Amino acid sequence: MPRVYVKKKRQISYTLGQVKTAVKAVIEKKMTCRKQKKFLKPVLPEEVEKEIENCILAKAEWGYSVDRVELLELVQEYVKCNNLSTPFKDGKPGEDRHLSFMKRHSNLSLKKPELLQQKISDACDPFVVHDFYEKLAASGDVLSLLIIFKAKGTVQARWTNRELEYPGTVYSTTENGYMEESVFFSWLNKLLILCVESVCKNKNIPNKKVVLIMDAGWT
């Protein structure tokens, strides 16, 4: 008589926080009980997910949006930097993990850039702006240029002209031609900080706090 194979079902355990989140989603009619069965167990600790949530909310509060790709790359960087063993491919979560994370943190929205909050709007008040610039001390020095090429790999010599360029010009490349995190931190450490230290030393300026003013471009 042939054997009849019965597939064993793997028991899945959930934390108390997951259960509460699932129950809340059902009560608020954001999810049905049937769909809640597909709720994936988190890989990262609950406190790490909460920290990621707070970072996203903080960026949105200041006018910087976070899209799905940036969120997944952030998790990938965290996993690799901490040498964590996860089921993620190359340390990067898949779409199912992303959806589960968003269900657990329903107060987040990665669909479109968040509008600037009231505190930033208040900072545009003319009285606030004038008061800021009255207290701002500028040295009059100009930083060297940073030019980013849209390319993979290193900068090619044929792309630049050392005889015609502005003195001290720095070059870099990114796949989309826009500023990326690694390029920004390289510019910050190798150019801005050194320039500020040099100006302070040459002009005998005591150690003071330095303000870096940037636009809120979502790119």
pLDDT at 120 over 80: no
Q: What is the pLDDT of residues 35-85, one digit of tens each?
A: 444 556 788 888 888 888 888 888 777 666 777 888 888 888 888 888 888
CB within 8 Å of 69: residues ≥ 6 apart = none
| Vertex 215: Cα angle to 186 and 109 (nearest 5) | 95
What distance in Å separates the CA atoms of residue 208 and residue 11, rounded to the nearest whole number?
A: 59
Out of 132-146, 172-186, 190-204, least confident range: 132-146
Half-sphere exposure at residue 212, Cβ-oriented, CA atoms within 13 angstroms: 11
Strand partners, 148: 172
Q: What is the pLDDT of residue 173?
A: 92
Structure token pair of residue 118:
């009231």
Tokens of 155: 């900068």
The 10s digit of each residue's pLDDT in 102-111 is: 888 887 776 5
In this prediction the pTM is 0.38
- Highest-confidence range of 117-121, 129-133, 186-190, by mean pLDDT? 186-190
